[in-house]
Structure 1
Amino acid sequence: MRWVVADVGGTNTRMAFAQDGKLVTGSVQWFLNDDYPTFADVLVDFVQDAPVDGLCVAIAGPVMPGHVRLTNRDWSFDADQLSMVLGGAKVRIINDLAAVGHALPYLAPDAVVPVVPGRAAPGGQSLVVGIGTGFNVSLAHGNGVMLAEEGHTGLSIGVWRVLQDHLGEKAAAFETVEQVFSGSGLRALHLALGGVEMPSQQIVRDARLTMGVFVTALAALVRDMTFQFMPLGGIYFNGGLARAVVGLPETGEILAAARVQDMFEGTLSDIPMCVVVDDAAALAGCVACLERT
């Protein structure tokens, strides 16, 4: 069986072939979404008329029955349409963070880097926290992954207090999780703190005040999500901005200091946190989904 797997983000699309339940070595390709009017055009460009038995697409956005629409790009498509493009191949569409959740059991040891040490509970559920162009989470347990759109939820009181302490009345401009914890959110936070317009990666590298506030707010968010999701199997950060932020020397210390202590027999104080550094993680999750269908 020859499959195509795709990870469609707001800016780029990664695609690869898979065979016998594994990614085909050397087949991963990157595409700049701005170069294509639709995802179907990217698919045609990648496949180049090669016979395909199945397709799994991980998208940055909610997967609705019958169709999907990206939250960070004006692209929409459905499984039937993509099946026709591939000559009747089986098609499955999943959320990109759900794909990373499916991939967790299959990631190589060097695909993750520890951020906060701890001890994962055997059989415990794991939380994937995606911070990039947008924000979302997925909760993985065994072969199952819970769907979510956490980025559109309102800010918790813990995060709000961090923002209010540093921004005062300007904190009112930040209402949802994604309005803070995303590339655009980081840039807006930097401006609200009196900084000048600059790319997210430059803010991470050069703006110590902004990053201090951002990481402190992130620690408050992670603490709240610990109660929400009870991720005794560990917390996995994923996404370009997540890798940059949790790679800062102080991030691990701040996250560790904010962990829940002395509750539920101490289990929440020992949750490990790490960052996924494998760009192909979502693709591996797509392969796992096709294997199970």
Structure 2
Amino acid sequence: MVNLIADVGGTNIRLAAIDNGEITQLECFKCAEFDSLESVVAHYVEKNSLTVNDACFGIAGPVVGEVLTMTNLGWSFSKQSVKKALGFNQVHFINDYTAIAMSLASLNEQQLTTIHKGDYQETAPRIVCGPGTGLGVAQLINVNGYYHCVSGEGGHADFAPTNPRQLKLLENLMAKFEHVSIERLLSGQGIVNIYQSLAFIDGIDAQAFDASQISQAYIKKSDLLCVETMEIFCDVLAQYLGNMVLTSGAFGGVYIAGGIMPRIIDVLDKKAFVNAFSCKGRFSDYALKAPIHLITEPQPGLIGAQVYLTQQQGNL
């Protein structure tokens, strides 16, 4: 008898078993190859000859109400229908960033790259922010050893420029978007938005670069506009993280997730990043208390799903 955990994205679904507290039999499937969540899970269970007790699914979409719909996938299902179809004892659904947040206290030095050591406080709140396809944000709080995730839509908070160059960037983006959220800059498309806006401001013909091409040019230092684009991206991310520390007191750590930062961490100017993070006037020292880590663990969502399920089962 095992428990089952899953990280369900718009493209891939990662499934694993929890056997005696250990994550085992990890497999990844293409969602497009299955017509429903139940079918891919049933395939995995049959393939591995598993008998499943409880399950926890982290899904890329809002977890509100009985019927859930995936944001970037044509799957819609009710919680009870999944439980009944699969024959599991209990089935829990959480947002994918709730799952990542739930993993934070379990990650060790080998699963992280530390950007700023700070003054770590074990029981203080932790925050996670992940620029990727969009911008995921969540907070983790410790209540007597029991972890709670406080999630919301922080990626849609306003972009707050801090220097004249960023002000011009905001003006350009305001001409394109009704609301210039922080996600308009801190995401894959956000990188493209910054690049194209800078080209317009400087009267330069923008190339038809995507985010990957811009970040590669930044790494190779082969295009000055791409370099500035990524420098602004990193500054804006650091500034936003510093703002989150001011509002949450996240001295348990600031964690960066998502697919963008791991690709550029080796060339990141960490000193400049920390300076942008802590540039908070009279409260600069306050911000500097918070450690900053990049998550390098490839499966934080599965780890978080395990933590959530364990807590639900009362096995702290």
Same fold (TM over 0.5): yes
Letter in 2 for 1:41: S
Q: State the number of aligned residues.
A: 289
Judged with a 3 Å threshold, the aligned counterparts in structure 2 of structure 1 residues 176 and 33 are, in CA distance, closer, same or farther, namely farther
Tell me the TM-score normalized by structure 2: 0.82
Kindly state the Cα deviation for residue 5 of structure 1 after the two structures are TM-superposed.
Answer: 0.7
Asked if 1:196 is matched to 2:207, the reply is yes
Give the 3-state SS of the residue equivalent to 2:184 in structure 1. Answer: coil
Could you tell which deviates more after superposition, 197-206 or 112-121?
197-206
Answer whether contact 1:116 1:255 (CA < 8 A) is retained: no
Letter in 1 for 2:140: A
Query: Superposition pairs for residues 1-293 of structure 1, below 5 Å?
Result: 1-24=1-24, 27-48=25-46, 50-142=50-142, 143-151=147-155, 153-158=156-161, 163-166=166-169, 168-174=171-177, 175-194=180-199, 195-206=206-217, 207-250=226-269, 252-258=270-276, 259-260=278-279, 263=282, 266-293=285-312
Answer whether contact 2:242 2:287 (CA < 8 A) is retained: no
Letter in 2 for 1:31: F
How far apart are the structure 1 equivalents of 2:85 and 2:227? 48
Give the 3-state SS of the residue equivalent to 1:292 in structure 2. Answer: helix
Kindly state the Cα deviation for residue 87 of structure 1 after the two structures are TM-superposed.
Answer: 1.3
How far apart are the structure 1 equivalents of 2:261 and 2:306? 24
Answer whether contact 1:237 1:243 (CA < 8 A) is retained: no
Pairwise CA RMSD of aligned residues?
2.4
Letter in 2 for 1:254: A
Answer whether contact 1:10 1:60 (CA < 8 A) is retained: yes
Kindly state the Cα deviation for residue 247 of structure 1 after the two structures are TM-superposed.
Answer: 4.4
Q: 2:203 — aligned with what?
A: none
Kindly state the Cα deviation for residue 102 of structure 1 after the two structures are TM-superposed.
Answer: 1.4
Letter in 2 for 1:173: K
How far apart are the structure 2 equivalents of 1:217 and 1:158? 8
- Stretches of structure 2 that go unaligned for 5 or more consecutive residues are 200-205, 218-225
Kindly state the Cα deviation for residue 265 of structure 1 after the two structures are TM-superposed.
Answer: 9.3
Could you tell which deviates more after superposition, 209-218 or 281-290?
209-218
Give the 3-state SS of the residue equivalent to 2:161 in structure 1. Answer: helix
1:227-271 deviation line (CA, Å, top 9, x unaligned) = 222211110001112322444322x22321121556469332221
Judged with a 3 Å threshold, the aligned counterparts in structure 2 of structure 1 residues 106 and 66 are, in CA distance, closer, same or farther, namely same
1:100-147 deviation line (CA, Å, top 9, x unaligned) = 221122223200111223121231111011221221111112211112
Answer whether contact 2:131 2:258 (CA < 8 A) is retained: yes
Answer whether contact 2:58 2:95 (CA < 8 A) is retained: yes
Give the 3-state SS of the residue equivalent to 2:288 in structure 1. Answer: helix
Give the 3-state SS of the residue equivalent to 2:186 in structure 1. Answer: coil
Identical aligned residues as a percent:
25
How far apart are the structure 2 equivalents of 1:272 and 1:108? 14
Letter in 2 for 1:257: N
How far apart are the structure 1 equivalents of 2:216 and 2:275? 23
Judged with a 3 Å threshold, the aligned counterparts in structure 2 of structure 1 residues 38 and 161 are, in CA distance, closer, same or farther, namely farther
- Stretches of structure 1 that go unaligned for 5 or more consecutive residues are none
